[in-house]
Amino acid sequence: MIHPGFLSAAERLELEPCVRRQHEDHCIARRANATLLLDDGKSCQKISDFLYLADDTIRGWYKSYRQDGWEALAFDGWKRGDICAEFGLDYSHSGCIKLLARLGFEYRKPKPLPRVASAEKQAAFIASYEKLMRGLPADEAVYFADAVHPEFQTKAAFGWVKVGSNPAVLSTAGRGRVNIHGAVDLKTFDAPFVKPLSVDGVSAVQFLTKIEARNPDMRIIHVIWDNAADHKGPDVMSFLSRTSCRIHLIQLPPYCPHLNPFERLWAVLHKYVTHNRYYASQTQFADAILAFIRETILQEWKTFRDRVSDNFRVIKHEKFRVLE
């Protein structure tokens, strides 16, 4: 039951001009009209009969107004005015969502697609990797590696919240970065890393040296990473030329981050460490990232291994509707 008189004098003064102005958006004027009639004591049924709407629509408008004020009805993110203009109809938020679902639409975000990714090179890499893993001797190991640069700034992300709540997260003022050369062994979830001041050929060699040191019993250590200039520059080439070198580098095809599970591990890290979390200082931010690499990965690797896997597939542009 909606009781009349819920509007203050100031609120009525805000709504009445929306009904009277000739240039007011038709949908906005009807919502203001319905709200004023409810305040006058008219029932949802009578108002819906007068405006040729469903009474649930009137109740939805009332609920939105009571929760978030007139701005929730006057402006919204669903752009219902487009539907009104095209078909002469009006829908509540829930009605709009249900209509789009019936028409075969869903709310989703486009996936980032590699700019240039040869399907043949992807398939060749996957076949070569599977052959390597099928015949991998006990004295060999395989690491997927990459350089990453998480920025010290709050990252707001979607999440489930109680209806009617208004969640927020404090933003940071800094824009510093944490540079990391890291890797992961999908068999043991060993995750060696170095934290250099800058990512370059020197830090790449430091990183490869650390991988060797962590695997003293391994005859060959395969390191799979991308084609960054630092990964194949003179510092790395000099390191690989040593007679005692046990590192065997494998280059990913160009523009194929989906073939590197370390990228997937980094997505998990963001969920655990950066999304919807505020850090007062860059030191706290860096400590949280390093704690994830040093501790959380090993503690939770059984949980992570389904998301951080080598279940690779070839991505072809023709399978997507590319937005331009």
Question: Residue-wise pLDDT tens for the chain (324 aa)?
Answer: 788 888 888 788 778 877 776 555 677 788 888 888 988 888 888 888 888 888 888 888 888 888 777 766 765 444 444 445 445 556 666 677 777 777 777 777 777 766 767 889 999 999 999 999 999 999 999 999 998 888 888 888 877 777 777 888 888 876 788 889 999 999 999 999 999 888 899 999 999 999 999 999 999 999 999 988 888 899 999 999 999 999 999 999 988 888 999 999 988 998 889 888 999 888 999 999 999 999 999 899 888 888 899 999 888 777 666 666
Residues whose CB is less than 8 angstroms from the CB of residue 189 and which lie 6 or more positions away in sequence, other chains included? 297, 298, 301, 304, 305
In angstroms, the Cα distances linking 269 to 153, 273, 275, 296 are 15, 6, 9, 9
Question: Where do the domains of the chain lie, and which CATH numbers do they carry?
Answer: 9-102 (no CATH), 119-319 (3.30.420.10)
At residue 172, φ and ψ (nearest 5 deg) are: -95, 155
Pairing relationship of beta strands 140-148 and 220-225 according to DSSP bridges: parallel
Report d(CA 322, CA 317) in Å as an integer. Answer: 8
145/133 Cα distance (integer angstroms): 17
> Within 10 A of 132 (CB to CB), how many other CB atoms are there?
15
55-64: long-range contacts, CB 8 A cutoff, minimum separation 24: 56/92, 56/95, 57/90, 57/91, 57/92, 57/95, 58/34, 59/2, 60/92, 60/93, 60/94, 60/95, 61/31, 61/34, 61/35, 61/92, 62/2, 62/34, 62/35, 62/38, 64/92, 64/93
